[in-house]
């Protein structure tokens, strides 16, 4: 699945994945799922997780990201999957945006993703690998105070579409995962949120799908739904 006759690293197992923000939440669950799928997972973490293959990386620093990617790729010599999962959640009304926090959120939530993809593509082309971008409902359902979260998530839709056009001819598949609420905090058992493991299983599927299938975007919602505060035509007229 991961190698072809053109791939000089074909047959050298296990396949390698990079996951950002693997120390907790969904990134932690994605790491566990890919481990179970037999992949060698490398985490890029700001906060240490104790995972045997983690590299310290604050994604708000392009220099730190470059150094971390170099470290992983030099050691593995191959890459089969990239999962950009980390997120900097900064919420403030536009009128009150702090320029430094805004810049940091854009860097972590968008620029670091582009940097990682650009750095990973040569090896992903060789392995005919997969990119999974963690988006969000926030990328298409905008809300007050959400610009620093919504805008970069919306931009990931553009990134995924451009990559689908540019990189499928090189054998690289890109998927955008757009989830609703995930119970990312330890101890959250809300039936109105998806578990991190459930979301991680979808990410695993996207990476291990048959090689002739590219899933462009997958939108995920919790199966549970609370009674809506506003419904029907009133919902349409409430924005």
Catalytic residue numbers read 149
Quote the CA–CA distance of 79 and 39 in Å, as a whole number: 10
The 103-142 contact track toward ligand NAP, x by CB under 6 A, reads: -----x-------------------------x-x------
Planar angle of CA 28, 194, 173, nearest 5 degrees: 65
Stretch that binds ligand NAP, among 9-17, 21-29, 32-40, 204-212 (CB under 6 A): 21-29
> Which of 25, 129, 152, 222 contacts ligand NAP by CB under 6 A?
25
Whose structure tokens read 């939530």? 109
Site residues for ligand NAP, 55-94, by CB under 6 A, read 57-60, 85-88
What is the b/e burial string over 116-125, where b = at least 16 CB atoms within 10 angstroms of the residue's CB? bbebbbebbb
Residue 31 binding ligand NAP, by CB under 6 A: no
Stretch that binds ligand NAP, among 23-31, 120-128, 160-168, 205-213 (CB under 6 A): 23-31
Site residues for ligand NAP, 146-185, by CB under 6 A, read 179, 181-182, 184
54: left (phi over 0), alpha (psi -120 to 50) or beta: beta
Our CA dihedral for 84, 215, 40, 119, rounded to 10 degrees, sits at -50
Residue 195 DSSP label: E
Residue 170 beta carbon to ligand NAP: minimum distance, rounded to whole angstroms: 25
> Which of 10, 12, 14, 24 contacts ligand NAP by CB under 6 A?
24
Which single residue brings its beta carbon nearest to ligand NAP? 25
The answer to whether 55 and 68 have CB atoms below 8 angstroms apart is yes
> Which of 3, 21, 146, 222 contacts ligand NAP by CB under 6 A?
21
Site residues for ligand NAP, 201-220, by CB under 6 A, read none
**Exposed, middle or buried: residue 37 (CB in 10 Å: 0-12, 13-18, 19+)?**
middle
Whether cis (ω within 30° of 0) applies to the bond prior to 14 is yes
The answer to whether 77 and 9 have CB atoms below 8 angstroms apart is yes
Q: How many residues bind ligand NAP (CB under 6 A)?
A: 23
Toward ligand NAP, which CB reaches closer, 59 or 116?
Answer: 59
Binding site for ligand NAP (CB under 6 A): 21, 23-27, 46-47, 57-60, 85-88, 108, 134, 136, 179, 181-182, 184
């Amino acid at each position: 699945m991961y190698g072809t006759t053109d791939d000089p690293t074909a047959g050298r197992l296990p396949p390698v994945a990079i996951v950002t923000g693997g120390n907790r939440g969904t990134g932690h669950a994605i790491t566990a799922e890919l481990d179970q799928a037999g992949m060698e997972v490398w985490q890029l973490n700001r906060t240490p997780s104790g995972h045997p293959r983690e590299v310290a990386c604050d994604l708000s620093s392009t220099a730190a990201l470059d150094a971390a990617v170099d470290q992983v790729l030099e050691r593995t010599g191959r890459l089969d999957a990239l999962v950009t999962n980390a997120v900097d959640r900064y919420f403030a009304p536009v009128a009150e945006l702090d320029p430094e926090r805004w810049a940091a959120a854009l860097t972590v939530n968008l620029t670091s993703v582009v940097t990682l993809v650009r750095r990973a593509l040569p090896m992903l082309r060789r392995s005919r690998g997969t990119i999974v971008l963690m988006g969000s409902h926030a990328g298409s359902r905008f809300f007050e105070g959400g610009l620093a979260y919504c805008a970069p998530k919306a931009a990931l839709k553009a990134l995924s579409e451009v990559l689908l056009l540019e990189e499928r001819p090189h054998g690289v598949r890109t998927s955008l995962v757009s989830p609703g609420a995930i119970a990312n905090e330890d101890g959250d058992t809300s039936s109105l949120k998806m578990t991190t493991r459930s979301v991680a299983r979808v990410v695993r599927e996207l990476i291990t799908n048959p090689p002739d299938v590219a899933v462009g975007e997958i939108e995920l919602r919790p199966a549970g739904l609370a009674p809506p505060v506003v419904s029907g035509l009133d919902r349409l007229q409430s924005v």
